[in-house]
Structure 1
Amino acid sequence: MRVVFAGTPDFAVPALRALIDSAVWRPVAVLTQPDRGVGRGRKRRFGPVKRLAVDAGIDVLQPASLKHPDARAALADCRPDLLVTAAYGLILPRAVLDMPALGCWNLHASLLPRWRGASPINQAILAGDAETGISLMQMAAGLDTGPVILQRSTPIGAEETAGELHDRLADLAGEVLVDALVRLDRGTLPAASAQDEALATYAPLIDKNDARLDWSRPADELSRMVRAYHPWPVAFGEIEGETWRIHRARAGAGRAEPGELVTNRGPDVVAVGCGEGVLEILELQGPGRKPVSARDWFNARRGKQ
C-alpha cells in the first residue's frame, strides 16, 4: 500500500515515525508546509516533520497550496492509495480528497464531534473535561466533520498543561494510526461512523489576548486557563500594577477582593483574590525577566520594600 503522510509541527512527528518504523507502511512521500524564516535574519529552517522525513530519506513535497494544478500533479505522481494527515495546516481540496483509492484519513486531537477546529487540546482543559483523546476520521470537505474510524480516549490530569497533554496525544496518535492500518490489512477495520452534529463543539484559533486573567472570575476557571495556555501563549494578569505571566498555579480556598495580593499563605505561594477563591501562583514571570518561583518573587519584593 502506497501511503503519503501530510503534517508539519511536532504533533505530527510520532505518527510519521510510527509509519517509518513499521516498514510496511513507510510513506512514499511526505507533504509539509514550506520552510519558514526564523530569527532576525529570517533564516529558513526545516520544520519537525520535514527534518524526520529528510533524515529517513523520504521525498518531501512542500506546496504553498494544494489548489494549484502543479501541486496536485506532484501528489498524483506519488500514486497514493491512502493519504494520512496530522496537523498539516493546509486545506485539502476535493480533487485531493478524491485522489487516493482509500481516501484521506486525519488524526485529530479530540473525541469528535467535541472540539472540532484548531485548538482542541486547549479547549478541553479550559472546559474542565475529564478526558480527551485521538479521533481518526475519514476526511470530508467540512471542518473535522468526516465520519470517525477509530477513537482512543485518555484522562486529562488534574495539573496537566496543554503542552504535556499535547505530547501524550501526539504519541497516542501514532498508536491509533498503526492500529488502524493493522486492522485495515486484516480486514477488521470497523466502518466509519457519522458524527452526531448535535454534539459538535468548536475550538477556534487562540489569540494571545485570550490568555488574559480576569480576577473577577472563579479561581478554578483561572487555574484551568494557566494550564490551557501553557506553554503558549501563557496566561497573564496584573499584580500590584505590573503584568505578570503565570506559568504554574492552582485554585485555592479563601476570600479576598479580586486582584488583591494575599501574603499569608507561606513563601512558596503568591496568592491573588478571585471572584471565587484565590489563585495560588507557584511560578511567574515579569516583563523582560526569566520565570521565577513564588519564593524568589517574594524575596525580590521584600528587597524593594
Structure 2
Amino acid sequence: MSKKVSYLLGIAITIILGTFLYLKFCCNCYEKTTTDDAPKIVSPAVQEPNFVPFVLNGSGIEYQTHDNLKFLKNSAILIMPVSDSVTTGVEKLKAFLTTNPKQKVTITGYATSDETNSTTFENLGLARANDVKNYFVSKGMSENQFNTIGKIIDTWKMSGDTLLGPADYTFETIDSSSATNDEWTALKEKINADPLILHFNTNKSRQTLSDAEKQKVSNIAKYLENVKDAVVVAVGHSDNVGNRDSNIILGQKRADFSKDYLSKNGIDAARIETSSKGPDEPVGDNATEEGKATNRRTVITIK
C-alpha cells in the first residue's frame, strides 16, 4: 500500500471515529441538558381580588360598587363610616323605595361557623342583617319595606379580621295586578268623595259643563274602561217649588240628561243607572234662592 493511500485511509477512519464519538457523547449531553437541566417556565398564580361588591339588583334598580358594608369578626355592629360609593348606592335605594312603597327587600346576613354569637338574635348572620336594616332606616327608609334572615356558612371573604360585605339583598316581585287594583280603588274613592254634581236652573234640565266637571267625566270614563263590571249611578234632585210628583219627574229628566251627556262622552249608556229623589234629599235651605239652586242637581257616582 502506498503512503498516499495509507494517509487517506487514516483521515477517513479519523472522521468516522470522530462522528461516532460525537453522536454518542455530545448529543446525549445536549439531550440531557435540554430535557433534564433546562429551566422550567412556571405561570404566575392569578390572585383573586380581595373584595365583595355591594350589589342592588331588582326590577327598577341596578347599582354595584367594589366597596361594601363591613363587620369585624364576631361583631354584629357595622363599621363606620361607610364609604362614599356605598352611600351613593344607599341613596339610590332610598329613592327607589320611596317611589315604590309596596316594594319589599329581604336582607340576608351572613356569619361564619367559627364566629361567636354574643347577641340576642338566633344567629350572628341575622343580627348583622338587622343592623344593616337599622342603618337603612336611619337614612330615611321605611322599616316596613325590609325583611331580614340570617345564614351561617363555612367561610367568607375577609381582610385581616374584617368581613367584607357579609349581606345581600333580594328584591321581591311586586304583584302588578294587586297594584293595578289598588289604583282603580283609589280612583273610585276619589270620584265618590268628590262626585260630579251638575246644577240646573229652575225648570231646566241641561247646561254647559265647566272644565272641572269635564275632568270628572274623564275620570269616570277612565274608571269604567278599566273596571269592566262598574256601574255609574246618576240621581236627579230638585228644590221644593211645586208639587212633589212634578219634582220627581224633573229630577228624573235631570238624571236622564246626565246619562245622555256621559254616553256622548264615551261611556256605555247600558252601564249608567238613573233615578230621581225629587225634593226629598235637599242639601241647601229651600227658604233661600241660593239653597234652592243648590238642591237643583244631579249627583253622579260609581256604584
What TM-score do the two structures reach when normalised by structure 2?
A: 0.21
Q: Which has the larger radius of gyration?
A: 2
Structure showing the higher strand proportion among its residues: 1
What TM-score do the two structures reach when normalised by structure 1?
A: 0.21
More relative contact order, 1 or 2 (CA 8 Å, 6+ apart): 2
Structure showing the higher helix proportion among its residues: 2
